[in-house]
Amino acid sequence: MPRIVIFANGELPNIEKARALVQTDDYIICADGGTRHALALGLKPNLIVGDLDSVMDVELKIASAKIVQYPRNKNETDLELALNHALVKKTSSILIIGALGGRLDQTLGNISLLSDPRLSTLDCRLDDGAEEVFFCRGRSRIEGGRGDIVSLIPWNGAVKGIRTHGLRWPLNNESLDPDKTRGISNEMLDAAAEVSIETGLLLINHRRL
């Protein structure tokens, strides 16, 4: 199964940077209003999922994709429903575009979705072209450029045994606690950096220059 790209209904600060994230063989799922982003990039969605309260009829007509509609009175966000559909596809990589910015509650909820244990063996990231967010559960690689900002944020408790390579202020078998800000605003020294941990769940926020 090819990589799955999910378009959420958040903000895209730079549409050209967002366009560069998409590959020609990606399987595209749109979470309701995320359809507008796919269409703006000239992409044809394979699947549209949600209660359809944020997508216009003309957009659905242009997209001409398979639609799975849910009732408005539901317990999940449209993005969570789209992610569930992606997991059925048995892919190894999921990229979620347009899930950052805008409403803080939505952004925090979108990040929390990545902590789902079902994603523990997948490469699953939120990205809008300007920055990407993902969890490190063992070892992670960050690809970008010299001077890019990388923040390491412990999630749901302390993270121990953290080692970094390629960051200006290295960590060598150290811990980060959720009530401290030591991991904020590190910098990449080159085009790639690596982070590994022994225990816990570490949120990595990579902001590109």
CB-count exposure of residue 104 (10 Å: 0-12, 13-18, 19+): exposed
pLDDT at 63 over 90: no
Q: Sketch out the chain's domains with CATH numbers.
A: 4-129 (3.40.50.10240), 139-207 (2.60.120.320)
What residue ranges in the chain does DSSP mark as E strands? 4-7, 27-31, 47-50, 66-69, 93-97, 123-127, 131-136, 139-143, 149-154, 159-165, 172-176, 186-187, 192-196, 202-207
Question: Are the C-beta atoms of 202 and 155 separated by less than 8 Å?
Answer: yes
pLDDT for the residue 208? 95
| Averaged pLDDT, 15-27 | 93
Binned at pLDDT 50, 70 and 90, residue 26 comes out as: very high
pTM of the full structure: 0.94
Calpha distance 92→142 (Å, rounded): 17
| Secondary structure (DSSP) of 160-192 | EEEEEESBSS--EEEEE-TT--TTSSEEBSSSE
Q: What is the DSSP letter of 199?
A: B
State in Å, rounded, how far the first CA of the chain is from the last one.
32
Strands of 123-127's sheet in order across: 66-69, 47-50, 27-31, 4-7, 93-97, 123-127, 131-136, 202-207, 149-154, 186-187
Mean pLDDT in residue range 136-160: 97
Tell me the average pLDDT of the chain.
95
- In this prediction, residue 90 has a pLDDT band, given cuts at 50, 70 and 90, of confident
pLDDT at 60: 86
Cα–Cα distance, 91 to 14 (Å, whole number)? 27
